[in-house]
């Protein structure tokens, strides 16, 4: 959660004094009286789950309407120019379900010619927009280079005034309801409308978006093949705004969760979401593996330097040497996307390129919908200049 702004500081102070109702009101864009600035869309409702054994998400009908109060991402300025610079097609779309509506941007590279390609779903952090996140992570540039689709869902300002995904709300932590169902619906809509390899669909996010990526991995493991979390929190680490703020500092008490391969990035000088959260994410994955009877070995640790920053990379693998967890600690890094572009917010141009490393990790994993061979990734002490072999 990127809350270095007045709203979040006010909410934090209210939480410290035990005024949790008022803190939640501030977090969701309400005034001191608790009145909403605008009426949010209806969010309850159950959506269609995939048929048993189908190996593919069953998408919901596409919706075109925009909900009242939804603020579209800026389409002009440096960030918009950077997001469109790769040369492909940027489509500004909206997905509507009974749980609500969200806008999203879809980047289609010039190399897309109808063959089945991977899809990466990118979830922005608080105060960010889809355009801002695309510019900062440079994921669309990588999509242009390696020919895959990228989706950037955008949180509605009618739901959260500052654009925070509801990763800490119990109603947004379950399959078939709330924000997980909307994001899954966006993913399914893209699969339905474009040629996407269902075995190569991935989700990643920063901060509150990273926490939401963890939610998506836990609630829709049949939809995604792997997950990337940057400066985020573990699934189930909070259940309301008070516990969310606490978890940002101490990692909370997440329950064992996770069957998907996961790559985690975190700066060891992050003062917004404490670095212990990365450890809690990994621990929850390891406990889940133990519960399933498939304990992982590790960590196998590598130290290196990239972009002027040192890093430590820990790897956990199955008995067959398939890497299931990578934990990257960026030394001296704060609450920012490592190796990102300063055109976007919450980015650090120094350090390893988190976008490229996530793609390399994703490229080594296929979901249950495919039976392709797995290529075990390798990383040198300095990041490989060739980037991922995606596509």
**Whether CATH 1.10.3720.10 fits 77-363:** no
DSSP letters along 348-368, please? ESSSS-HHHHHHHHHHT---T
Mean pLDDT of 3-15: 52
Backbone φ, ψ for residue 10 (5° rounding): -65, -45
Helix (H) or strand (E) holding 212: helix 208-219
Higher pLDDT, 270 or 293: 270
- Of 44-58, 85-99, 281-295, the one with minimum mean pLDDT is 44-58
Higher pLDDT, 194 or 52: 194
Given this model, what pLDDT does residue 72 score?
Answer: 38
**10 pLDDT above the threshold of 90:** no
Given this model, what pLDDT does residue 25 score?
Answer: 56
Q: How confident is the model at residue 371 (pLDDT cuts 50, 70, 90)?
A: very low
Given this model, what pLDDT does residue 22 score?
Answer: 59
Q: How confident is the model at residue 18 (pLDDT cuts 50, 70, 90)?
A: very low
Return the bridge partners of 121, or none: 151, 203
Task: Determine what percent of the chain is predicted with pLDDT higher than 90.
Answer: 63
Q: 189 vs 148, 154, 256, 375, CA distance in Å? A: 16, 15, 30, 29
Distance CA 298, CA 317 (A): 7
**82 pLDDT above the threshold of 90:** no
Higher pLDDT, 254 or 57: 254
Higher pLDDT, 341 or 295: 341
Classify residue 172 as exposed, middle or buried by CB count within 10 Å of its CB (0-12, 13-18, 19+): buried
Q: What is the pLDDT of residues 107-161, one digit of tens each?
A: 999 989 889 999 999 999 999 999 999 999 999 999 999 999 999 999 999 999 8
Q: What is the pLDDT of residues 58-77, one digit of tens each?
A: 332 222 222 222 233 445 67
Given this model, what pLDDT does residue 86 score?
Answer: 76
- Of 85-94, 172-181, 351-360, 361-370, the one with minimum mean pLDDT is 361-370
Q: How confident is the model at residue 390 (pLDDT cuts 50, 70, 90)?
A: low
C-alpha dihedral, 191 to 195 to 200 to 206, nearest 10°: -60
Count CB neighbours of 349 within 10 A.
15
Classify the phi-psi angles of 202: left when phi > 0, otherwise alpha if psi is within -120 to 50, otherwise beta. beta
Q: How confident is the model at residue 276 (pLDDT cuts 50, 70, 90)?
A: very high
Given this model, what pLDDT does residue 372 score?
Answer: 35
| 90 neighbors 84 (Cβ within 8 angstroms) | yes
Mean pLDDT of 182-187: 97
DSSP letters along 110-154, please? TT--SS-EEEEEEE--TT--HHHHHHHH-HHHHHHHHT-EEEEEE
Report which DSSP code applies to 168.
T
Residue found under tokens 């002490």 = 381
- Enumerate residues 6+ apart whose C-beta is below 8 A from 272: 1, 2, 3, 4, 207, 231, 248, 334, 335
Mean pLDDT of 101-112: 95
SS3 323: strand
| Nearest CA among 78, 176, 186, 174 for reference residue 123 | 186
Distance CA 96, CA 102 (A): 7
Higher pLDDT, 10 or 155: 155
Given this model, what pLDDT does residue 84 score?
Answer: 72
Given this model, what pLDDT does residue 69 score?
Answer: 29
Distance CA 188, CA 186 (A): 5
Higher pLDDT, 119 or 24: 119
Mean pLDDT of 318-341: 95
**41 pLDDT above the threshold of 70:** no
**384 pLDDT above the threshold of 60:** no
Given this model, what pLDDT does residue 369 score?
Answer: 53
- Enumerate residues 6+ apart whose C-beta is below 8 A from 207: 1, 2, 125, 126, 230, 231, 232, 272, 273, 335, 346
CA 325 to the chain's CA centroid: 16
- Enumerate residues 6+ apart whose C-beta is below 8 A from 102: 70, 94, 95, 153, 154, 155, 156, 182, 183, 186
């Amino acid at each position: 959660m990127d809350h270095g702004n007045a709203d979040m500081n006010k909410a934090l102070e209210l939480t410290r004094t035990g005024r949790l109702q008022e803190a939640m009101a501030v977090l969701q864009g309400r005034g001191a009286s608790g009145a909403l600035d605008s009426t949010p869309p209806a969010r309850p409702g159950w959506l269609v789950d995939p048929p048993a054994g189908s190996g593919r998400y069953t998408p919901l009908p596409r919706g075109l309407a925009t909900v009242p109060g939804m603020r579209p991402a800026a389409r002009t300025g440096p960030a918009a120019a950077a997001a469109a610079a790769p040369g492909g097609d940027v489509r500004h779309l909206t997905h509507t379900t009974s749980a609500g509506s969200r806008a999203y941007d879809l980047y289609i590279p010039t190399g897309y010619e109808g063959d089945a390609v991977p899809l990466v779903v990118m979830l922005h952090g608080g105060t960010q927009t889809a355009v801002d996140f695309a510019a900062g992570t440079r994921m669309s540039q990588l999509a242009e280079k390696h020919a895959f689709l990228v989706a950037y869902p955008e949180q509605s300002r009618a739901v959260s005034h500052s654009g925070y995904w509801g990763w800490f709300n119990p109603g947004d932590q379950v399959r078939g309801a709330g924000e997980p169902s909307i994001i899954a619906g966006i993913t399914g809509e893209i699969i339905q409308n474009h040629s996407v390899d269902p075995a190569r669909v991935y989700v990643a996010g920063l901060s509150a978006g990273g926490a939401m990526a963890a939610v998506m991995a836990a609630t829709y493991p049949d939809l995604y093949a792997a997950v990337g979390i940057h400066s985020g929190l573990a699934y189930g680490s909070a259940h309301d705004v008070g516990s969310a703020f606490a978890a940002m500092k101490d990692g909370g008490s997440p329950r064992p969760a996770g069957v998907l391969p996961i790559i985690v990035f975190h700066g060891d000088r992050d003062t917004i979401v404490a670095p212990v959260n990365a450890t809690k994410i990994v621990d929850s994955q390891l406990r889940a593996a133990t519960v399933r009877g498939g304990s992982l070995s590790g960590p196998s640790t590598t130290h290196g330097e990239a972009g002027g920053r040192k890093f430590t990379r820990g790897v956990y693998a199955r008995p067959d040497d398939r890497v299931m967890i990578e934990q990257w600690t960026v030394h001296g890094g704060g609450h920012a996307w490592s190796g990102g572009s300063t055109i976007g917010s919450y980015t650090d141009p120094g350090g390893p390129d988190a976008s490229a490393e996530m793609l390399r990790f994703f490229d080594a994993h296929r979901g249950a919908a495919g039976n392709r061979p797995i290529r075990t990734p390798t990383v040198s002490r300095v990041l490989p200049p060739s980037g991922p072999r995606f596509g």
